[in-house]
């Protein structure tokens, strides 16, 4: 049997295997590049999703987002002080009577605004009628004594009668004149008309303001020295702040104070120091600093507790409200409304096609926000110093309120693995 040589056959098989391996490599390599590209794109999209979010008009309105820009605030060169809103004594009044009587009518209720001179209540008493009677009697006697005084004076000048008679007539006339003036002042003080007899006395408002502490009702006894009600005039409300000895040298008249009140939506109230007490308050080793309020609101009433800042320097910094800052992954961010991304939808409000060939329903006005990293500093009265870590447009619109709502949409978008539109 003839011997068969297998060497050439082996070389042929090896060559075919090599060719197949090369072809396989050439075919698989582009796919690998494609997979890498897709993965990179997905990663980039995920990174974008963690920084941007888009809201439609309904979402924007429902979230009550407020836009604005940086505020210039002095947050470092300040003195912290606590105190209360106060009223000067001349802007407070206790309404009482000078003669005892019974309340017959009440024209006001607690909390009502009244004007100076307005009748608040009516008090009745027989004493009022007796006082008017005495006034009328004194008036009549005074007229008689005046004529008698003039007659005796003429006789005395002519030496017809003695000086003693004239002096007695003069004394009686002067006494009655003083009594008549006194009765007139009493009627005026009681706001009683001297020309008509009445047993009623009106209770008059001594100042304009708001009625507080109504202590009477119909039939109550109006007693001398006992307040029937009180009136406060909050137009002259000021702030008394307690400043400790270590900070006293920094505080001077004319400096600005700032504080916020929760019942005014954390609105910042401004004031100016007008006086500094020259003695310590009790044993607290603190001094009262008095400041006028420059923009009082309707929610300000006496006795409200305030935590205020007294500006003792002029180092103003860029600041934003605390709620404009969001925290994520150990960093701090703000949201910026992207210019050119607030777009009005087509007027026809109809369905239209995007570049991908699919039909999409018109969403109306869209608001596109970008998250920007910041560093924060000193925080006071609801504001915090902010340093932006990248350049922003000069008039960039920042989210002052509603940042956490946008952050929640951003997290939802990132969790879904894509950018929300």
Q: What is the mean pLDDT of the chain?
A: 80
CATH of region 54-71+317-415: 2.40.420.20
Is pLDDT above 60 for 28? no
Please tell me the number of Cα atoms within 13 Å of 321 on its side-chain side. 19
Residue 341 to residue 322: CA distance in whole angstroms: 26
Three-state secondary-structure class, residue 169: helix
Average pLDDT score over residue span 15-27:
65
The pairing of beta strand 366-380 with beta strand 316-321: unpaired
Ranked by mean pLDDT, which of 18-27, 147-156, 353-362 comes out on top? 147-156
3 state DSSP class of 386: strand
Distances (CA, A) of 213 to 2, 120, 219, 222: 134, 13, 17, 15
| pLDDT, position 24 | 61
Counted residue by residue, the chain has a size of 421
Residue 14 has pLDDT above 90, yes or no: no
Over range 92-110, report the average pLDDT. 92
- Looking at residues 15-36, what average pLDDT do you find? 57
Where along the chain do its domains lie?
Answer: 54-71+317-415, 78-87+237-314, 92-232
Q: Are strands 78-86 and 305-311 parallel, antiparallel or unpaired?
A: antiparallel
Percent of the chain with pLDDT over 90: 24
Question: How big is the chain by its Cα radius of gyration, in Å?
Answer: 44
Query: Cα(336)–Cα(374) distance, rounded to whole angstroms?
Result: 12
For residues 262-290, average pLDDT = 82
193-250: pLDDT as tens digits: 777 777 888 999 999 999 999 999 999 999 998 999 999 998 888 999 999 888 888 8
8 A C-beta contact, residue 87 and residue 308: no
Task: Please answer whether residues 211 and 108 qualify as being in contact, where contact means their C-beta atoms are separated by less than 8 angstroms.
Answer: yes
Contact 218, 106 (CB under 8 A): yes
Most trustworthy range by pLDDT among 115-119, 256-260, 262-266:
115-119
Q: Which CATH superfamily is domain 78-87+237-314 in?
A: Efflux pump adaptor protein, beta barrel domain (2.40.30.170)
Exposure string over 37-74, b if 16+ CB within 10 A, otherwise e: eeeeeeeeeeeebbbbbbbbeebbeebebebeebeebb
Tell me how far apart the alpha carbons of residues 65 and 365 are, in angstroms, rounded to a whole number.
15
Which pLDDT band, with edges at 50, 70 and 90, does 102 fall under? very high
Lowest mean pLDDT among 74-78, 126-130, 344-348: 344-348
Instruction: Mention the CATH class of domain 92-232.
Output: mainly beta
Enumerate long-range contacts of 339-345, CB under 8 Å, 24 or more apart: 339/393, 339/396, 341/54, 341/366, 341/367, 341/368, 342/366, 342/367, 342/368
């Amino acid at each position: 049997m003839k011997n068969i040589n297998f060497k050439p056959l082996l070389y042929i098989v090896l060559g075919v295997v090599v060719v197949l391996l090369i072809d396989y490599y050439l075919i698989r390599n582009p796919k690998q590049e494609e997979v890498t590209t897709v993965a990179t794109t997905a990663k980039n999209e995920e990174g974008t999703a963690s920084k941007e979010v888009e809201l439609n008009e309904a979402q924007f309105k429902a979230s009550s987002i407020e836009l604005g820009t940086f505020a210039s605030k002095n947050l470092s060169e300040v003195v912290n002080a606590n105190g209360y809103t106060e009223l000067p004594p001349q802007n407070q009044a206790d309404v009482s009577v000078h003669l005892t009587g019974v309340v017959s009518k009440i024209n006001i209720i607690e909390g009502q605004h009244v004007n100076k001179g307005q009748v608040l209540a009516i008090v009745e008493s027989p004493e009022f009628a007796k006082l008017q009677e005495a006034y009328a009697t004194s008036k009549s006697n005074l007229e008689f004594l005046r004529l008698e005084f003039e007659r005796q004076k003429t006789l005395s000048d002519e030496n017809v009668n003695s000086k003693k008679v004239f002096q007695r007539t003069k004394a009686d006339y002067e006494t009655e004149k003083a009594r008549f003036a006194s009765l007139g002042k009493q009627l005026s003080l009681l706001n009683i008309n001297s020309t008509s007899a009445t047993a009623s006395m009106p209770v008059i408002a001594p100042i304009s303001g708001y009625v507080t502490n109504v202590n009477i009702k119909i039939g109550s006894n109006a007693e001398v020295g006992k307040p029937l009600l009180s009136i406060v005039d909050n137009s002259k409300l000021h702030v008394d702040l307690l400043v400790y000895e270590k900070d006293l040298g920094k505080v001077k008249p004319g400096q600005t104070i700032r504080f916020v009140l929760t019942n005014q939506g954390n609105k910042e109230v401004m004031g100016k120091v007008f006086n500094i007490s020259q003695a310590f308050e009790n044993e607290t080793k603190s001094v009262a600093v008095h400041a006028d309020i420059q923009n009082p609101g309707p929610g300000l009433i006496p006795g409200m507790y305030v935590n205020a800042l007294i500006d003792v320097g002029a180092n103003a910094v860029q600041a934003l409200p605390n709620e404009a800052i969001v925290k994520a992954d150990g960093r701090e961010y703000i949201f910026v409304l992207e210019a050119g991304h607030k777009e009005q939808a087509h007027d026809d409000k109809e369905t239209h096609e995007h570049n991908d060939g699919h039909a999409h329903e018109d969403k109306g006005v869209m608001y596109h926000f970008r998250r920007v990293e910041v560093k924060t500093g000193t925080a006071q009265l609801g504001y915090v110093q902010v340093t932006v870590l990248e350049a922003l447009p000069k008039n960039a619109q920042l989210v002052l309120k509603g940042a956490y709502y946008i952050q929640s949409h951003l997290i939802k978008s990132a969790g879904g693995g894509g950018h929300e539109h």
